Structure 1
Amino acid sequence: MELHFDKAFATLGPSLWQGIGIVVYITLFGFALALVVALLLAIGKLSRNKVLTRILSLFIELIRGTPLLVQFFYIYYVIPVLLNSVASLAGYATNVQFKPATCGIIGFAINYGCYMSEVIRAAILAIDYGQREAGLALGFSEKQVLFRFIIPPAIRNSVPVFGNYLVMMIKDTSLLAMISVQELLLRTKTYASQTFLTVEAYTILALFYLVISIPLSQLSKIVERKLKQVG
């Protein structure tokens, strides 16, 4: 079997570079929102309100117990139908539709936010109780102690895990091909079906993922070392 990597890279390469832009865009926004969701869920689960903690625990288990791809489908196909149905019952004619990239960002924010919330919660519980007492002794309120003395070191201690989640999110963007996001996998699949250069196309795709994920992994390790020096 004769392979044509030069031809495949010359024609598929430019398209994949454009796809990287979409992958980075969705990943950065999705990860940033996931951090916000994770922090809110972690703080909520640590509250003294038992009803709130049970609701949040149920929500987290629901998200963690279903595949990310199913969640993308639900956000993309089901939620617009539900919103349009509710609006119709209220007497309004609507045609709510979500852009595929928007669904990807929302899906990543919710899914990864639930997973990272447990990381943050565990990191908060691992902080020495004396820091809380010292903050209260200095006249700070409970909220001020939480956001000034507890959360910052907890986030810093969670950075290595967050780095792993970021790399995982990069690779999970391939799932977005199923809801028509023009990321790397969908572009490669389209090209391979048109040219029949299957081996070349998917090998190049794997290399492109490595080009993104390996530098991110190394950057995460560098940040981790820097934070340890600061700590």
Structure 2
Amino acid sequence: MSGSASIQPDDRLRDVKLAHVPFPVTRLALWIFTLAVALGFAYIVAINPNFGWPVVAQYLFDPTVIQGLWVTLGLTVVAMIIGVVLGLILAIARMSNDRLASSLASLFIWFFRGTPLLVQLIFWYNMSTLFPRISIGIASWDTNDLITPLTAAIVGLALNEAAYMAEIIRGGLLSVDKGQAETAEAFGMNKARALWRIIIPQAMKSIVPPTGNQLISMIKATSLVSVIAMADLLYSVQSIYNRTFEIIPMLLVAVLWYLFITSILNVGQGAIERYYNRGDRGSTPADRTKENATPMVGAAHEHV
């Protein structure tokens, strides 16, 4: 057998891969260059007096800023909870065979995804222009008493988020093999139980990553409520620099807090994704199919 014939395909593949790997000296030079550029930029930013770092340090934990931070976090949590719940309902309605429910869900998603969030917030805040009073049966309220900056912010953020979450959840549900639901029904499970026990748990791997992105986007989207005089983080720093005229330092205070929050959320999102993907590591597609079917069969037997 010739020498060339003794070379295995794996050896040739390894040689091709090694041929494309840069020399260690080149990689080391790239690392040094990148590090030098990053340190140089950081040094320029640190010594530039126009950034006002002493002012940033002074106001970073200012009570007004911290209060605005809590408002931002509260709005995010409430709007996301409402958005996820409504999004799940809308996703199920859009996937249903009921044409009326599907059409209404599609109309809702079309409207709230197709209009800017800022416009929606301003619209809700000025609801009294269209309806000076809101009446339900014999009860009647002044619209300005009901639609405060807080309620306008929550309603605007939640309804907008629900439209996006509906599509995220619908995509996750569609990623689950239809045979799962059919097998669950064959074991006597109704559609609601099959959805809750079988379909949604398997769809979570597809739902969690975009939902994490939506949560991070929501943190930043809350800054829009400052236009309706809602005292969130951005509005709080604006109220301070309107007095001190330290615009850049106060904006940096907001930036640092936003970065801090989103960094924590990124870590949490990564942990949740690893939890739902823990069964995929080191497994073949056939193993993953079998693994996905196991909970469904087990739950069905439990139901029986």
TM-score, with structure 1 as normaliser: 0.90
Q: Does 1:6 align with 2:54?
A: yes
Larger Rg: 2
Q: Deviations over 1:26-77 (max 9, x none)?
A: 1001101110011000000011111221222112111111010111111121
Per the alignment, residue 179 of structure 2 pairs with: 130
What does 1:63-102 align with in structure 2 at a 5 Å threshold? 63-78=112-127, 80-85=128-133, 87=135, 94-96=141-143, 97=145, 98-102=147-151
Per the alignment, residue 50 of structure 1 pairs with: 99
2:220 and 2:192 mapped to 1: Cα distance?
37
Identity fraction in percent: 31
Please state how far the C-alpha of 1:132 moved relative to its aligned partner.
0.9
Contact 2:175 2:206 in 1 (8 A): no
Q: Does 1:39 align with 2:93?
A: no
Moved more, 150-159 or 110-119: 150-159
SS of structure 2 residue aligned to 1:229: coil
With over 3 angstroms needed to count, the CA separation of the structure-2 counterparts of 1:92 and 1:148, relative to structure 1, is closer
With over 3 angstroms needed to count, the CA separation of the structure-2 counterparts of 1:228 and 1:222, relative to structure 1, is same
Q: Which structure 1 segments of 5+ residues have no match? A: none
187, 196, 209: which is aligned to 2:258? 209
TM-score, with structure 2 as normaliser: 0.70
SS of structure 2 residue aligned to 1:94: strand
Question: Partner letter of residue 100 of structure 1?
Answer: P
98, 115, 119: which is aligned to 2:164? 115
Relative CO higher for 1 or 2, CA cutoff 8 Å, sep ≥ 6?
Answer: 1
1:105 and 1:59 mapped to 2: Cα distance?
17
Please state how far the C-alpha of 1:102 moved relative to its aligned partner.
2.3
Greater share of helix residues, 1 or 2? 1
214, 238, 242: which is aligned to 1:165? 214
- Aligned-residue Cα RMSD (Å) equals 2.2
Please state how far the C-alpha of 1:16 moved relative to its aligned partner.
1.6
Q: Deviations over 1:173-217 (max 9, x none)?
A: 100101111111111112112111112111222111101111111
